Structure 1
C-alpha cells in the first residue's frame, strides 16, 4: 500500500532540531564564562539600590513632569538592552530609587545618574593648580573638532578628561554664585535653605579673609607671605566652594582643583554665567576661567563612540540644525579670522564640573565635534550614553547606596518552582492517563522545550543582559499550559480522524494539516499580546511578557520540529495502532479497520478513508 499523501520524513526534522540544540549549548559552553548559569534579577540574587533626592533652586518639590523625565533618562542610561529589568521608580515627591541586580559597581551606577550637562565655552584664561593635591583626574585627553575629523584642530596642550567624570555624591542645584563686588557669595532671586546654610558656613570659616579675597584680581597676586592669608580657604568643602564667585574660585590658589572637582554636580551648568573648571595641561592640573556657554548639550543631536587608528576610543558628537550653527559661530568668534593670539583661540568642552578637553581652534569648523584621548571602552560607552539620552532636568543628591538581599526573592522563587513542579506533574499525569503513548510525547516535548528555554536564558543573560526575575518565572509557568494546549489540539484532531474511520498512519498528516492552523493562530495571538504587554509595561510585568513571548516561540519550534515528527514516526509502528497503547480511545486497530474496509455486505461496515 502506498504511503498516504502528506507523509513526512521525521529524520529531517529531528536533525534540524538537534542542530539548533547543539548550537545553543555549544554557545553556552564555548562562549563567555562557559558556565550554564542564567543571569538572575534583583529579586532573585540581590543587587544595588541607590536613592536619589532631587534639588531645586527654591528648595521646593520639583514638578511631576521633571521627575518623570528624569526617571526615563536614568532608566534609558542604565538599561540599554531593554530586558535587563533595572527598577527605576519615583518614590514620593522628590526621590528616585534605582535598583540594579547583581554585583554592580556603585561608582559605575553613580556615573549613570550624574547630570551629564555638556557645555562648550570659550577659554578666557588658565592657570596651573599650585596646591600640589591630587585632583583625581582619571585620564588626559585632547579633542578634535575639525570637519575632517582629524586631530588638526587640537595642537595645544591637552586637558583632563574622563569618560564619565566623578563628582561629589551630593548634588545641590545651587549653582556657582556669580561674581559680585561685595566680596561675599552673591544673592539669588530664589535661594534654597541648603544654599543659605552653605553661605553661612563659608562666612563663618573665612571671616574677614572673604573681603580680602575679593580684591584679588589675578592668581599671580597671591604669592609668598600673601598666600598665608588665604589658608582658611583650604578648610572649605567642595559644596562650600560652589557658592563662591567664579573670579574668586579662579584667583585664589588655595581653592585647588581637588576642591573644584568635588563641587556638587550641576554647580556650573548655568549657561549665562562665567565659570571655573579644572582640566590638565601638559599632564599638570590646571584651572580654567571660562566664558558663557555658547553651545549646550541640548544642541547635540547624537553621540556615538568608536575607535580611531590614531586617537583610540573616541566619542563623536553631531549637532542639530540650530546647534550646528551655534558651534560654527563659536569657532568663528574664537578664531577671529586668525588675528587672535593662539592662546586665546581655545574652546573648552565642559562636562558637569570638569573640562574634558580644551583644543586650540585652527579655523572655522562647520563639522561635528570629537572627544578623544586616553579613554577606555567603558569611558566612551558611559559618556556617549549620558550625552545621547540627554541631560537630567534636575540635579540630584545621592542619599544612600545600599546592598539589597535576595532572601525574600529566593523564598518566593522556591514557592514558584514548587508551584511549577506541581503544574508540570499534573499536566504529565493527565496526559499519561488520557493519551497514554501520546502522553509520553507530551513529556518528551516538554523536556525538549525546557532544554531550549534554559539555554536561551543563559545566552540572553550573557550577551544581552536579560535577568530572570520572579515575574519571568511566572511567565514560564503560565507557558507550560500554553505549550501543553498545542499538543492537545493536535491529539484531539488525530482522534477525530481515527473516529471517522481512517487508520492512525493516514490520520496523522490530515490531523496535523488542520491542527497546525489552530496552533499557529493561537500562538500568533499570544505573541502579539506578549509584545504589546512588553512595549507598554514596565518593571516585572515587562519580564513576564518577555518570558511568555520566548516560550511561545519555542513552543512553535518544538511542535513543528519534534512533536509532529515523533507522532508521525510512532504511527508507523504496529504497537501504536493498539487503542490501549496509543491512547486514541476505543478506536479500532489499523488491522481491524483495514479488514472492515475490504468487507462488503448488507451490514454496511465502516469504510476506512486512506486519502
Structure 2
C-alpha cells in the first residue's frame, strides 16, 4: 500500500472514530465523582470477631453485598461501592446530605429475627388473632394502612424489642416519602420530593410493634400480574435472632420421605438449640389444639417466620405429627417449600449475611455539598481549558503549520478522551481532571519530540516530505519509551494507591494510550496528506527556516555552576525539611476538616468561640477566599470527630451564623491515614524500581543510575519547596 493511500485510510478511520465519539458524547451521561457532584463517602475497615478471628476476602465480600443491598434500599442513585485493599470497603452516596444518617443506614449489621408467627400477627382490632387465617395469612395491601394500624398500638417495652420508635412520612396520596426513621427530624434530613412538601403526614409506630413486608412470590409457580407482597403488622417479640444460628447453606431434601428438592439447612449455637426446640414445641402444641376433627392436619399447622431487615423471607410450618415435642436443634434445621436451587442459595446467603462475620469500623467519612462540588468542577474545567489554550498557543507560535496540525491532533484527542470517559464509564473526580490535564502535556510532548526531529532533518538538507517521514521514524522510539514508562507508573498508582489517586492514575493511563494514537498516527497522516500542498512548500512555514542568529551556550562547560546551584537548592530544601518538616494534610495524619460558607458576617474569633462551646477551642480556623461560595467562607481543622459531633458543630454554627447546605466535611481516622501514607511510600519506591528496570533492559543498566539520581533530585527539590512555602501535602 502506498503512503498516500495509507494516510487517507488512517484519516478515514480517524473521521469514523470522531463520528462515533460525537455520538457517545451526546448519548451518554458524564458520571461525576462525589467531590464534583456532592454527597457522602464512607470508608469501612473490616475487623475480626470471635466467630471470625481473621478478616478474609470472602468475609469482606459478604459485608460488601450487605452494604450494597442497604444502599439500594437507601434510594441513592448510582451508588459507588467497591473494595479497597484487602480489608476496606468504600461506599459513595452521590447526593446524600446527611453523613450521620448514611452511616446508620449503611454500617449497621443486618438484622435477622425468627418469630412464632400466628401469636404475633396483629389483626384489624389492633390485637393478635392466631386462629384467624385472614389475619395470619393475608397481608395488608397498602403500606400506609399497615402503618396506620401499627400507629394505633400502645408502646410495649420488653427485653426482646429489636427497634425503638419508628417514624414514617406519607404524602397526601398516602405514598411513602421517607421512613422508617428513629426520629421525626430524620425524616427531613434529606431533600424530599416536591409531592411531600404540602399535606404530608407523619405517623409514629411505638416501640413493641413493627411493620414488615410480605414474602416474595414463589418462583416455582406462576405469579399473577397483580401480585402484591403486601405488609404485616406484628408484635416485636422474636424467639431467636441471627446470632443464634450458624452455617446456613443450600442443600437438597434427601432425608426419609424427602423429595430431593432444594432446601436451606442451618445449625444453631448452644443457646439457639434450646430456644429453637422451646419455640417449635409451643408451635406444635398450639397446632394440635387448632386441629378440627375430620379435616386435614395440615390446615392446623402453625408457622415459624424468618424476617430479615423488616422483610418476611420464609414461613415454614411445624408438622406436629412428626414433631409433637418440637424440633431438636442439635441436628440443625431446614427450610423448605418451593425453592429453586438459585432461590435456596440466595436465602442461604441472606442468612449468612444476617450473621455478619466481621465488624465494620468507620475509618474515614467525607461530605461534600453540591455547591462546593460545582465550584470544584468549575475550577477544574477552567484549569483544563487554560492548560489546553497555553499549549495550543505555544505550538502555533513555535511550529506554525506543524503547530496547527498538532492543535488539530489535540482537539481530536480531547474528543476521543471525553467519549471514552462516557463510554467506559470513568467516574470523573478532581484527581481525574488533574490526570486529564497532565495528558494534554503528554500529547503535546509527543508532537514536540517529532517536530524537532522533522526540523532537524529539513535543516540538514532533506526535502519537506522526506524530513517529515524521517522525523516520525526517528522520534517514534523516544515517544514509545516515554509513554511506556508513564503507563507503568500509572498502573502502579492504580494498583497500590487509594481511591482518589486511582482516578488520577486511570485517566492518566487512558489518556496516554489515546495520545499515542492521535499524536503519532493521526498527525502523521494529516501531514503526509498535506505534504505537497502550498502550506508545506517552504521550511520557514514549519519553523525550520535558517537562523540568522544562533544562540550558543556551553552547557557541559558550565556544569560545575549547575551542580553548585543544584547543591545549594538541595541544601536549603534539606534544612527546611529538617527544621520545619512537611505540612501533611489530614489524608496522612488524620483529623477532621470542615469547609462551610456562613450566611451572616463572622470573624475567625467569633467562629472560634462557637467551636469552644463545643469543646474544640484549639481548632485551627482559617478564613478563605472563595467568591463562588460567598463572603464568609471558613475552613476548620480539628482532631478526628465522630459523625454525631460533626453534626453538633454544624448545628451550633447554623444557629449562630447560618450555614444552609454549604457545609462540607472530611474525617480521616488514624488507620486510614497510615494506609494512605504506606501506599504513597510503596508507590514511589515501586515506580522508581520499575523505571530503573525498564531503562536497564531497554538501554544499558548504567543509564538507570543517573536517571534515578535525577528523579530523587527532583523529588527532594519538590519536597523542599513544599516545606519552605508551608503548602499542604495531600
| 2:429 aligned with 1:429 | no
**Whole-Å separation in 2 of the counterparts to 1:530 and 1:297:** 46
**Cα contact 2:71–2:106 (8 A) shared by 1:** no
Q: 1:117 aligns with which of 99, 110, 114?
A: 110
Q: Counterpart of 1:245 in 2: which secondary structure?
A: coil
Corresponding residue for 1:47?
39
**Whole-Å separation in 1 of the counterparts to 2:62 and 2:451:** 50
**Whole-Å separation in 2 of the counterparts to 1:69 and 1:564:** 50
**Whole-Å separation in 1 of the counterparts to 2:377 and 2:167:** 50
Corresponding residue for 2:308?
351
**Whole-Å separation in 1 of the counterparts to 2:4 and 2:408:** 22
**Whole-Å separation in 2 of the counterparts to 1:160 and 1:550:** 54
| TM-score normalized with structure 2 length | 0.44
Deviation, structure 1 residue 385 = 10
**Whole-Å separation in 2 of the counterparts to 1:257 and 1:414:** 40
**Whole-Å separation in 2 of the counterparts to 1:389 and 1:510:** 68
Q: Counterpart of 2:120 in 1: which secondary structure?
A: strand
**Whole-Å separation in 2 of the counterparts to 1:515 and 1:459:** 32
**Cα contact 2:110–2:308 (8 A) shared by 1:** yes
| 2:61 aligned with 1:100 | no
| TM-score normalized with structure 1 length | 0.51
**Cα contact 1:453–1:554 (8 A) shared by 2:** yes
**Cα contact 2:490–2:506 (8 A) shared by 1:** yes
**Cα contact 2:116–2:303 (8 A) shared by 1:** yes
Q: Counterpart of 2:154 in 1: which secondary structure?
A: helix
Deviation, structure 1 residue 288 = 8.1
Q: Counterpart of 1:468 in 2: which secondary structure?
A: coil
| 2:505 aligned with 1:531 | no
**Whole-Å separation in 1 of the counterparts to 2:125 and 2:537:** 91
**Whole-Å separation in 2 of the counterparts to 1:26 and 1:524:** 30
Corresponding residue for 1:16?
13
Q: Counterpart of 1:100 in 2: which secondary structure?
A: strand
Corresponding residue for 2:421?
457
Corresponding residue for 1:226?
none
**Cα contact 1:448–1:558 (8 A) shared by 2:** yes
Deviation, structure 1 residue 440 = 0.8
| 2:234 aligned with 1:234 | no
Corresponding residue for 1:370?
343
**Whole-Å separation in 1 of the counterparts to 2:34 and 2:166:** 41
1:538-593 superposed Cα distances (whole Å, 9 cap, x missing partner): 24222222221232232123234421211211223254141101223439xxxxxx
Number of equivalent positions: 417
Q: Counterpart of 1:562 in 2: which secondary structure?
A: helix
**Whole-Å separation in 1 of the counterparts to 2:235 and 2:18:** 60
Give runs of aligned pairs for residues 59-70 of structure 1, distance below 5 A. Answer: none
Deviation, structure 1 residue 470 = 1.9
Give runs of aligned pairs for residues 69-84 of structure 1, distance below 5 A. Answer: 73=64, 77=68
| 2:19 aligned with 1:26 | no
**Cα contact 1:533–1:542 (8 A) shared by 2:** yes
**Whole-Å separation in 1 of the counterparts to 2:523 and 2:35:** 35
Q: 1:245 aligns with which of 159, 167, 182?
A: 159
**Whole-Å separation in 1 of the counterparts to 2:306 and 2:124:** 24
**Whole-Å separation in 1 of the counterparts to 2:482 and 2:471:** 17
Corresponding residue for 1:568?
528
**Cα contact 1:357–1:371 (8 A) shared by 2:** no
Deviation, structure 1 residue 352 = 3.6
Q: Counterpart of 1:349 in 2: which secondary structure?
A: strand
Q: 1:546 aligns with which of 496, 506, 510?
A: 506
Unaligned runs of 5+ in 1: 32-36, 58-62, 90-95, 135-155, 168-230, 265-274, 303-317, 373-379, 588-611
Deviation, structure 1 residue 486 = 1.4
Q: 1:487 aligns with which of 431, 447, 458?
A: 447
Q: Counterpart of 1:420 in 2: which secondary structure?
A: helix
C-alpha distance 422-293 of structure 1, shift in aligned 2 (>3 A): closer
**Cα contact 1:161–1:279 (8 A) shared by 2:** no
1:228-270 superposed Cα distances (whole Å, 9 cap, x missing partner): xxx998245xxxx4xx234x999xxxx9999xx8789xxxxxx
Q: Counterpart of 2:313 in 1: which secondary structure?
A: strand
**Whole-Å separation in 2 of the counterparts to 1:547 and 1:442:** 21
Q: Counterpart of 1:113 in 2: which secondary structure?
A: helix
Give runs of aligned pairs for residues 195-594 of structure 1, distance below 5 A. Answer: 234-235=154-155, 241=157, 244-246=158-160, 279=212, 284-287=232-235, 291-292=239-240, 299=247, 326=267, 342=298, 346=303, 348-352=305-309, 354-360=311-317, 368=341, 370=343, 391=356, 393-394=358-359, 404-460=368-424, 464=425, 466-499=426-459, 501-586=461-546
Deviation, structure 1 residue 480 = 1.3
**Cα contact 1:349–1:356 (8 A) shared by 2:** yes
C-alpha distance 291-72 of structure 1, shift in aligned 2 (>3 A): closer
Q: Counterpart of 1:234 in 2: which secondary structure?
A: coil
Q: 1:128 aligns with which of 118, 121, 124?
A: 121
**Cα contact 2:112–2:351 (8 A) shared by 1:** no
Give the alignment's Cα RMSD to 1 decimal: 6.2
**Whole-Å separation in 1 of the counterparts to 2:102 and 2:380:** 31
Higher relative contact order, chain-length normalized (CA < 8 Å, sep 6+): 1
C-alpha distance 8-117 of structure 1, shift in aligned 2 (>3 A): same
**Whole-Å separation in 1 of the counterparts to 2:492 and 2:432:** 16
C-alpha distance 346-485 of structure 1, shift in aligned 2 (>3 A): farther
Deviation, structure 1 residue 438 = 0.7
**Whole-Å separation in 1 of the counterparts to 2:485 and 2:245:** 43
Deviation, structure 1 residue 484 = 0.7
C-alpha distance 531-409 of structure 1, shift in aligned 2 (>3 A): same
**Whole-Å separation in 2 of the counterparts to 1:301 and 1:529:** 44
C-alpha distance 434-87 of structure 1, shift in aligned 2 (>3 A): same
1:401-455 superposed Cα distances (whole Å, 9 cap, x missing partner): x984344444444444444344333322322232221111111111111222333
1:166-210 superposed Cα distances (whole Å, 9 cap, x missing partner): x9xxxxxxxxxxxxxxxxxxxxxxxxxxxxxxxxxxxxxxxxxxx
Deviation, structure 1 residue 471 = 1.7
Deviation, structure 1 residue 479 = 1.3
1:205-228 superposed Cα distances (whole Å, 9 cap, x missing partner): xxxxxxxxxxxxxxxxxxxxxxxx
Unaligned runs of 5+ in 2: 73-77, 128-135, 169-179, 184-207, 215-229, 251-261, 282-286, 289-296, 320-333, 548-730
1:369-404 superposed Cα distances (whole Å, 9 cap, x missing partner): 6289xxxxxxx9xx999987984845899xx9x984
**Cα contact 1:120–1:295 (8 A) shared by 2:** no
C-alpha distance 160-573 of structure 1, shift in aligned 2 (>3 A): farther
